[in-house]
Amino acid sequence: MSTFIIDAVGALSTAGTLFIVSAGLTLVFGAMRLINIAHGSFYMYGAFLVTTIGAASAGLRFWLAVVAGCLAVGLIGTAVEVGVMRRIYNSEHLTQLIATFGLFLIFADLALKFWGNSSRTVTAPAAVDGRLSLGGATFPEYDLVIIGFAAVVGVSLWALLQRSAFGWRIQAAVEDPEALQASGVNLRLLRTGVFALGAVLAGLAGAIVTPQVAVAPGMDSAIIVSAFIVAIIGGLGSVAGAALGALIIGTAETIGTVVAPSWASTFIYLAMIIVLVLRPAGLLGIPERAR
Amino acid sequence: MKPARIVAVAALAAAVGTGSAACSSSSGSAAPGSGGGGTVTIGESTTLSGSIAELGQSGLQGVQLAADDLNAHGGLLGHKVTVVSADDAATPATGAANVRSMILNDHVVAVFGPVSSAVAAAEEPVAAEYQVPIFFHTSNDISLLGKGFTQYAFQVVPNTVMESRAAADYLAAQSGGKQITVATFAPAYSFGYDTVSGFLQALKDLHVSYKLVAQQFPPLEATSISTYLSRIVTAHPDYLFNAQFGGDLVTFTKQAAGYGLFTKTKVIAMYDSPVLSALGSSAPAGAIGFDRAPFWAMPGLSSFSSQFHAKYGAWPSEWAVLGYTAVQTWAYGVEKAHSFTGSSVSAALPGATVPTIRGDITIRACDHQAEIPEYVGTVASSADSTYGMTLWNPSVFTAPFSTIDYSCAQMQALRG
């Protein structure tokens, strides 16, 4: 039983981080059909900003740093959307990939200039920095924080997209942007808002993992492939799919560590291949031609 | 674009982006090479961007400082030494291209670096093709001087066999002949698999009575390793040998502490000064660390350490110490050969005893491996007042070269 609890918490914690990152990625794709490699940069900047703002302090300042870091990344995202993205919405995906990869490299270079190449760490607030025992299992309290954040993000996004005018406008912007614009909605502003929200989610994921990781150059590239795999398993454009994809990845990796430890990390690719063979658009995705 | 194609492009982008963010060439001071104006140029091709840039940048600092010191003492054979550097992006093809470019365009007379052994393996034949000596001061795969040996390659860093054997030696002494349970944790690529395999083989060779209870291989640079850690935690090993390094080891330590792993299991890993500095108050007191050149445990390095600190505002990592040592080794070869010619320098070094900042080191004639030890110690419980960071307890175990490296016959066998 204790083994199951430890495995379950570990898998959910992994899935939680992946979900928050990939939710932003898939949200932007769903609303604007934009593939954004620089999403990994937003994740890394969220983490670096927390190390700068929060420094080594482990109290309330950490949470303030998380909020400030997310907002700062949102501002960066806004600038990127206004300066670059709105010029390539109608371009082919390959053009978008190349343009956002260019941004990815620029952001990586700037990060090296600002924060250097040494690893940085942050201590979690004392209230969530301990260990929790449950059913004979001991696991980090902070894992529950990450799982909690993921749940809040998931419910909030569902409410935003399904129960608010903002969400309806996003859907309308995909299906009939001209009609939406004719009805008086500022399409440019809407797209800027969605892109900024995607950046905030990436920044949030980067910010909340800081107490558990080495914050260092390379975080951007390490996360972006995993985020794409999650988004594609779930179906690009589907936030619910991202949640499902993250759970599948967390579970697949856990099964891998049990069945074939030397090959555990390849289980996520195996999961992706199986999904792509059975449902090329992802589990909850809709093929582009069918939209 | 189909989903599979998107992932492929994203993966490619990420792979390139891992190290190529600053894929430009830079130099301490640009120089035309060995021919012009009393200057001679050496090249450092290493990883200067991405997740392992810390190792490369630190090594480059050591190389640059060594060149500066040579110049401060009149240069080498009357020539001023300049350094050109280039980022290999942790990519073998880029590293090989860098070395070729340095030799053909910058006319370097010696090459230093890189971080990754895979990159080193790609650079080694290029250096040999142009008969330019290459000094590996960070990459340390045993195969570089085994299967891949060339007469122009030299290794001034403990190799993968030495490192895992030193850790095994220490563990053998700690276990005191009792039956112990062991788990391993290593990055999922050739270095990780080879190091773990070497460690387990060394335990067998030392007749340590152990039971292997878990093995995990998380991906390099993974930010969430909970799924892998949980398997280790539930196996309750007495000892965990971890072959991770740098940021990955920092991440492991932060997350493993959350499971209480350090209270029940003795962790053995590369707890060097950069990792301990990054961990700060989270450094795992009582864990066993190994280090290729711990500046604080090597009395001969005190002057160098102070000089390095004065110049860079930080204490030297082992990567800086080894980079400096590599340049000293090359410079000794130049002086002994009284020539910058690659073949002459390469012929002068095998069997030579080279005076360096870390003391005299001998370059073993049969494989060009520097006969240097590996250091093992226990992470202290509080910060060192002199250096302002947590280091090891004072009693450091020095694993002698003669007991931890393969013999010449074994190296010969590796070459097939």
Q: Identify residue B216 by its one-letter amino acid code.
A: Q
Q: Ramachandran region of residue B163, left (φ > 0), alpha (ψ -120 to 50) or beta?
A: alpha
Mind listing the pLDDT tens digit for each residue in B198-231?
999 999 999 999 999 999 999 888 877 888 998 8
Q: What is the pLDDT of residue B10?
A: 56
Nearest to A257 among B49, B50, B216 (CB): B216
| Beta carbons of A235 and A29 less than 8 angstroms apart | no
Nearest Cα residue to B206 out of B237, B232, B235, B182: B182
Phi-psi region of B189 (alpha: psi -120 to 50; beta: other; left: phi over 0): beta
Residue A100 near residue A38 (C-beta atoms within 8 A): yes
Question: What are the φ/ψ torsions at residue B35 (nearest 5 degrees)?
Answer: -85, -30
The CA-CA-CA angle for residues B367, B371, B375, to 5°, reads 130
Residue B154: HSE in the Cβ half-sphere, 13 Å Cα cutoff: 38
Vertex A104: Cα angle to A103 and A106 (nearest 5):
60
Residues B325 and B281 in one domain: no
Let me know whether B277 and B322 are in one domain. no
Contact A140, B258 (CB under 8 A): yes
Q: Are residues B181 and B279 in the same domain?
A: yes
* CA separation for the pair B258, A139 (Å, rounded): 6
Q: Would you say B309 and B326 are in contact if contact means Cβ atoms under 8 Å apart?
A: no
Enclosing H/E stretch for B356: strand B353-356
The residue among B362, B388, B407 that closes a domain is B362
Could you tell me if B266 and B391 lie in one domain? yes
Q: CA-CA distances (angstroms) from residue B22 to A71, B86, B143?
A: 27, 9, 29
- Measuring CA to CA, which residue among A144, A149, A152, A157 is closest to residue A241? A157
Reference A139, options A242, A286, A3; nearest CA is A3
Looking up tokens 């990436």, which residue turns up?
A202
Query: What pLDDT score does B12 carry?
Result: 54
- Residues B221, B350 share a domain: no
d(CA A17, CA B225): 11
pLDDT at A17: 94
Domain presence at residue B53: yes
Q: Is B234 in the same domain as B270?
A: yes
pLDDT in tens, B9-64: 555 555 544 443 333 333 333 333 444 459 999 999 999 887 788 899 999 999 99
Decide if B115 is inside a domain.
Answer: yes
Contact check, Cβ <8 Å, A225/B230: no
CA distances from B77 to B19, B43, B138, B360 (A): 36, 18, 27, 21
Which residue of B5, B200, B230 is the best one to mutate when testing the A interface, meaning the one whose CB has the most A CBs within 10 A?
A: B230
Residue B368 within a domain: no
Kindly state whether residue B16 falls inside one of the protein's structural domains. no
CA distance A128 to chain B (A): 10
Closest CA to A121 of B50, B283, B49, B219: B283
Question: For an interface test with B, which of A4, A5, A221, A288 has the most B Cβ atoms less than 10 Å from its Cβ?
Answer: A221
Contacts of B280 in chain A (CB under 8 A): 56, 121, 123
Alpha helices per DSSP H over B73-159? 92-104, 117-129
The predicted model gives B235-253 an average pLDDT of 94
Give the count of domains, chain B: 2
Q: Which of B14, B255, B281 faces A225 most closely, judged by CB atoms?
A: B14
Closest by alpha carbon to B28, among B88, B69, B74?
B69
Residue B206 lies in a domain: yes
Torsion of CA A13, A15, A18, A23, to 10 degrees: -120
Bridge pairing between strands B266-269 and B288-291: parallel
- State whether residue B256 sits within 8 Å of chain A by CB: no
DSSP assignment of A170-193, as one string? Answer: HHHHHH-HHHHHHTT--HHHHHHH
**CATH at B129:** 3.40.50.2300
Tens digits of residue pLDDT in B88-106: 988 999 999 999 999 999 9
Tens-place pLDDT, residues A49-91:
999 987 655 678 899 999 999 999 999 999 999 999 999 988 8
Residue-number span of the structural domain to which B198 is assigned: 161-291+373-415
The number of helices, as runs of H, and strands, as runs of E, in chain A is 11, 2
**Sign (positive/negative) of CA torsion A22, A28, A30, A34?**
negative
Mean pLDDT calculated for residue range A253-272: 86
Q: Output the pLDDT for position B28.
A: 39
User: Beta strand B25-27 with B80-87: parallel, antiparallel or unpaired?
Assistant: antiparallel
Across A124-183, where does the E strand assignment appear? 131-134, 137-140
- Residue B152: strand, helix, or coil: coil
Tell me how far apart the terminal alpha carbons of chain A are, to the nearest angstrom. 45
Convert the pLDDT of each residue in A30-55 to its tens digit.
888 888 999 999 999 999 999 998 76
Kindly list the distances between the CA atom of residue B136 and the CA atoms of B97, B112, B113, B140, B365, in Å, as whole numbers in the listed order: 17, 6, 5, 7, 16
Q: How far apart are CA B335 and CA A166, in angstroms?
A: 74
Region of poorest pLDDT, from A134-138, A161-165, B54-58, B258-262:
A134-138
Question: Is B174 found in the same domain as B74?
Answer: no
In this structure, how many other beta carbons lie within 10 angstroms of the beta carbon of residue B197? Answer: 15
Are B154 and B168 found together in one domain? no
pLDDT at A29 over 80: yes
B103 assigned to some structural domain: yes
Alpha helix (H) residue ranges in B145-284: 160-175, 190-205, 226-235, 246-258, 261-264, 273-279
Q: Are B61 and B145 in a shared domain? A: yes
C-beta of residue B279 within 8 angstroms of C-beta of residue B155: no
User: Are residues B139 and B271 located together in one domain of the fold?
Assistant: no
Residue B321 lies in a domain: yes
Secondary structure of residue A91 in the 3-state scheme: coil
B165 and B149 belong to one structural domain? no
**Probe site for chain A from B227, B231, B233, B234 (most A CB atoms < 10 A):** B227
- Write the CB contacts of B310 (distance below 8 Å, at least 6 apart in sequence): none
Provide the percentage of residues in chain B whose pLDDT is more than 70. Answer: 91
Domain stop point among B318, B339, B362:
B362
**Domains, chain A, ranges and CATH?**
2-290 (1.10.3470)
Largest CA distance in chain B: 66
How many helices (H) and strands (E) would you count in chain B? 15, 16
Q: Give contacts of B 359-398 with A, CB under 8 A.
A: none
pLDDT > 70 fraction of chain A, expressed in percent and rounded: 97
Predicted complex ipTM? 0.86
- Kindly identify which residue of chain B lies nearest to residue A281, measuring between CA atoms: B3
B278 and A120 within 8 Å at the Cβ level: the answer is yes
Q: Structure pTM?
A: 0.87
Taking residues A17-28, what's their average pLDDT? 94
Contact A262 B224 (CB under 8 A): no
Assign B348 to helix, strand or coil. Answer: helix
Both B32 and B122 in one domain: the answer is yes
CA distance B384 to B396: 15
In a domain, B2, yes or no: no
**Cα separation of A156 and B393, whole Å?**
50
